[in-house]
Chains A and B, each alone.
Chain A
Amino acid sequence: MINLLTFFIKDAYCYTQLIVSQVYVSISLLMYSHIPTAVISLFTGSFLLIKSRKLETKIFFFLTLVFFLFTLGDLTEWFVFLGRGTVIFARSIIELADPMLFILSSYFLFVLVKKKDVRFIYKIVWLLPITIYAGILIFSFSKNLITYNWDICEMVEANLVTVYGFYMDLFYLSSLIIFAIWSIIKGKGNRKEVSIASAGVCLFIILFFAMEYVFTGYIFGNAFDYNYFVYAFFGMPILILFLGYLIIKYNEFDVKLIAAQALVWALIALIGAQFFFITELVNLILNSVTFFAIVIFGRLLIKSVEKEIQQRERIEEIEKEVEKAYEVEKKANEELAALDKVKNQFLMQTQHDLRTPLTSIRGYCDLLLGGTFGKPSKKMKEVFERIEAVVTGKINDINNFLDVAQFQLGKGVVSLKSSIELLPILEEITNALAYKAESKGIYLKLEKPKKTFAISADKEKLKAAIFNIVDNAIKFTVKGGVSVAITKNQDTITQNENLQIIVKDTGIGIPQDKIKSMFETQFERTALAQKTATGSGVGLYLSGQIIKLHNGKVWAESEGEGKGSMFVIELPIS
């Protein structure tokens, strides 16, 4: 085929002109710069259009179509043997296609970067120069003639067309570059992506502009030398290369293309293009073998990569599902927390409403006993005292009942957080109870350790648990007082280090038979506790449960009734 073409061109007068021109353009270069670029460009444009119907893909397809026509037109111009009319016709296509390449490239970059269409009003402003240009080309008058000069073997344009065309192209080029720079500066999250797209499009257009006006000598006022122009066509593969990178790296156009695919297609295109320039049979055979080998191995390569990618996608899908499940769980937890809040409010309202009338009854008794309305008789005093004892007992029952209800409804809500400082918790407790101890005339002291201790704990719940125990110790102490201390301890069996909070009182003590069960059973009262008419047991039961949930232990030690007691809370060190 190549021989045939060479024969025709050789035969034409102009081929000699090709050789005498300043730049030698071989037939191979001519073919290589036009045919593969045009084919690859149109192929890529159509491929993307099939895969994606986004606006930018449509624009790109149109761009490749115009480029294809432009390339064919330019090639036709070289084949003078096709006849004068054909060449001039080709030239008019080129003249119109050339600015369209500029416009479509800019439009393409704009949509690619902005992800939206250009506003209608800007479109009109944008298309105005080319519309005027089309008018100049269509309505022929003496100043816009395009003719073919057989002597120099070049097209000759009237000055108006050339000058107007130059400034129009310059306008489109500069606006494209300004837009590209502006987008790169403004781009935030996708700056790299925008830079690559801008670089690809700008290189394509700058190369075109340079080959058309700079290297031809036009802007220097020299005579045209169009032979450089063959290099302009390589701008298209460069643009496609940049787009390929965008597609693979950023999934641009929503087209799933993998690097292996792109590589194989590029190789096929390159080796396929060789067919245009092979003149010898041996080379033809060699090229064919290589070509088919690449087609076959490429297919295998793509298959295997595709499989890998499918697996990766599946993993990503699973990851998404896990994330979704996590979201659902998070929502459920939030709902639970909201429910917990409603429950707490309900319990608070209930205890408030139950206690209010009882508090008033006790208040009336206080007034009667205090002699506000005259000193009561001995019998009356006893009755009032009995009423008051019953009411106080009821108030405590309500407190206890609601504490247990609150704890049981909120079961499993103990959420341990690491690195909770223990000392501040104890300080809060002793501060809160200081008044109570003081009003009983006993001491309450916290022996502060020199070191700080951190544990895993649900701060509020643990505080409540220890509070109960200290409160209980104060309750049963009449003389002396209560001390709270922290010590570090090593378990003799497991060798694990743990913390012991020791609450020591000088109170009534605990009978031996009750010591073991104090933190275990609900609603159990010691005989002593019943005597003083204040309930215990429930608070301690709750404390025991909470400490258990902290992986800790709690127990009581006492040498017997009247000899004081010691409560040990053991918690693991985090």
Chain B
Amino acid sequence: MANINKKILIVEDDQNFLWILKQGFVGEGFSMFFAEDGEQGLEMAIKERPDLILLDILMPKMDGIAMAKKLKEKGVKSQIIFLSNLKGKLPVAEEIVKESDYIIKSDLHVDQIIARVKEKLGIK
């Protein structure tokens, strides 16, 4: 349980995928936080200062890109992995997405996503 110190926030509006990720991360030993839209996610990120945020792009109220920009403004320095099913130029053209990491959900399996998170946090 060496990962207990690491906080991970998942912001995802798709209930199904959120549940899958929740289950996937069980037993990994992280402190997990969840939010279902950008506003909620922003609030939680400011409060909890997570080490890493898995951030969906297309979401109600505030989208992932807007939320990431707000976080940067507020000085929250969590690592971000954008998580979306958007393919094509639009999301990648955003400067903030280029600075962070970007995963297309349908390209990776759940265990691959978890592996990517660990790698990003420097956990073997």
Contact = CB atoms under 8 A, between A and B. Distances in A.
Contact of B106 (A358, A364, A373, A460): A358
A358 B85 CA distance: 11
Interface in B25-40: 26-27
Contacts of B111: 366, 370
Contacts of B27: 372
B14 A360 contact: yes
Contact of A355 (B23, B26, B90, B105): B105
B31 to A, nearest CB: 19
A216 interface: no
Contacts, number: 67
A366 B89 contact: no
A372 B24 contact: yes
Interface of A: 344-345, 347-348, 351-352, 355-360, 362-364, 366-367, 370, 372-373, 395, 399, 402, 406, 439, 460
A367 B17 CA distance: 11
B106 A367 contact: no
A359 B87 contact: no
Contact of A363 (B16, B26, B86): B16
13 contacts: A344-B88, A348-B86, A352-B58, A352-B84, A356-B17, A360-B14, A362-B109, A363-B110, A364-B20, A370-B24, A372-B24, A372-B26, A399-B87
Contacts of A406: 88
Please classify the interface of chain B as helix (H, G, I), strand (E, B), loop, or mixed, using the class held by over half of its residues: helix
A348 B90 CA distance: 9
A339 to B, nearest CB: 16
Contacts of A356: 14, 17, 85, 105
Contacts of B26: 372
B20 A355 contact: no
Interface string B81-99: 0001111111000000000
Interface residues of B, number: 23
A344 B90 contact: yes
Contacts of A366: 20, 24, 109-111
B23 A359 contact: no
Contacts of A367: 20, 23-24, 110
B86 A352 contact: yes
B24 A348 contact: no
B85 A351 contact: yes
Given A358-B106, A363-B17, 10 more contacts: A344-B88, A344-B89, A352-B85, A356-B14, A357-B16, A359-B85, A363-B110, A366-B109, A367-B110, A372-B26
Given A348-B88, A352-B58, A367-B110, A372 B23 contact: yes
A360 B16 CA distance: 6
Given A358-B106, A370-B110, A370-B111, A363 B20 contact: yes
Interface in B65-123: 84-90, 105-106, 109-112
A364 B24 CA distance: 10
A113 B2 CA distance: 84
A223 to B, nearest CB: 89
Contacts of B90: 344-345, 348
A360 B20 contact: yes
